[in-house]
Every structure is written in C-alpha cells, then in structure tokens.
Amino acid sequence: MSSPIVLLHGLTFDRRHWRPLQRELAVLEPNRTVLALDLPGHGDARPRASYHLGEVAEVIHGQITAAGLAGPPTVVGHSVGAVIATIYAARYPTSAVVNLDQFLLPGTFGAVVRAAEPELRGPGWHAVWERMVAGMGIESLRGEARHLAETATDPQRDLLLGYWDELLRDKDAQLAADRAADLRAIGERGIGYRWVTGAQPPAPYVEWLTSALPTAVVTVLPGGHLPHLEHPAHLARLLYRNDDDS
C-alpha cells in the first residue's frame, strides 16, 4: 500500500498551492490519502510567537497525528517547507521525504538574507520579499498555476523574520552541522530522500548531501522555483513511483 502523502508549502504561501498536484495524484491513485497542511502563521493556521523550525515540525507532527494517517507519510516540502520536512523526518515516523527545490545549506541565499536584515526589520521589508519572488520564475507560469502563485500568498514581516530567524542568527557551520545531523538520522532510519531541483546542482553541494545521506536521490526538473505548479503531472508520477524507487 502506498504511504499517505503530507504536503508542506513554502514561505508566505498556503495549502492552496497544492491543488494542481492533488488533482493529478487523485487521477493516479484515487484512494491514496493526501493531506495538505498550512504551516503555522499561514492560511488558516494560527500565528505563533516563534517559528523556530524544530517547533514548526512539532506542530506539523501534532496535525499529522490528529489526522490519523494509516502509516508513516511521505512528506513533500517546497522551499522552507522542505527544510521542515527534513527536520520532521529526522525526528518522527516518516516513509520518505521529497524536497522541492530547496538547498539545505545557507550558501548565497543566506548571505542575501543576512545582508537584507536591516531592511527586513524596517518599513521597506516588503521590497526584500518582492526581490525574492522576482527570482521564482512566476512569469513563466500560465493559467491556474500563475493565479495561485500570485494570489495564494500573504507576505508578512513576522513570517519572514520568524522562519528565517535561525538563518539570521546561526553561523553557516552550525546550520550545516544541524542539517547534516538530520540527514544522517534519516539515513539511519532507512527513510527515502529525494531532492527535486530546477537546475543542474553544484557538484560540491551534491557531494555534501550524499556524504551525509548516501541514499539521497537527486532529480533535475528544469524550471523555476515552483515545480509543483509548473510540473504537477510530472511530480505526481514521481510520487506515484516514489515508494518503489526512493
């Protein structure tokens, strides 16, 4: 029996982003349970005083437990949702993780966010997010996908500062050590891990990823930062096969 699927969206978005993928999954496996959740502070989920990613993973675990899923889920996370999915799988029963277009090391993105911290904490914070959105490839989307990318979102300064708090506060070495520990825990528990990336990834990063988790599978799906909106049918087929080849 295929594992249930839990879907975790990216920062400022909400569970509506998964509608195209959910429809495609329903065609392939109409009886498979698919649970799309709002991250804390997003959509219908209540805000929190802290968005420490470990605490968010704990909240997600409570929602998954309450849903009474029939077995450990495949957790699919987009962007920051993929970091949370990785942390989740290191701590809680999980069948597999599918990471949609998210590096686990801060890299250039971390440097950009840290450089923008004064702006993020001031009245011009929204301009920082607009610059981020400009690099997501939304302009290449059409129809419902474009509509969801542009409307199923509610940027808030507290969310940006909260979900990026560890990125702003911790040094790269500490973040790398934390994520490597998560990956090793995933490997020790025999949990499948697939990273879906929109472009050919840098060799040093792949080396780091596979040194921490040798069984990690890298799938290149050319496009922008929103593969679940750009390629929902392809991703549905990938998830349909994931129980066999992850």
Angle in degrees, CA 129, 90, 186, rounded to 5: 110
- Which pLDDT does position 246 carry in this prediction? 41
Report the alpha-carbon distance of residue 242 to residue 69 in Å, rounded: 18
Q: What is the DSSP letter of 13?
A: B
pLDDT above 60 for 243: no
Joined tokens for residue 96: 């597999």
Burial class (CB in 10 A: 0-12, 13-18, 19+), 195: buried
Report the alpha-carbon distance of residue 34 to residue 242 in Å, rounded: 14
pLDDT above 80 for 113: yes
The arithmetic mean of pLDDT across residues 112-120, rounded, is 97
Compute φ and ψ for 6, nearest 5 degrees.
Answer: -115, 130
Average pLDDT, the chain: 96
pLDDT above 70 for 106: yes
pLDDT above 70 for 1: no
Q: Using one digit for the tens of pLDDT, what is the confidence trace for 33-68?
A: 999 999 999 999 999 999 999 999 999 999 999 999
- Which pLDDT does position 223 carry in this prediction? 95
Q: Using one digit for the tens of pLDDT, what is the confidence trace for 121-168?
A: 999 999 999 999 999 999 999 999 999 999 999 999 999 999 999 999
Q: Using one digit for the tens of pLDDT, what is the confidence trace for 194-219?
A: 999 999 999 999 999 999 999 999 99
Would you say 217 and 195 are in contact if contact means Cβ atoms under 8 Å apart?
yes
Cα 89 vs. chain centroid, distance in angstroms? 12
Joined tokens for residue 30: 């109409």
Distance in angstroms between the alpha carbons of the first and the last residue of the chain: 15
Would you say 96 and 243 are in contact if contact means Cβ atoms under 8 Å apart?
yes
Per the DSSP assignment, residues forming a β-bridge with 98 are: 76, 194
pLDDT above 60 for 241: yes
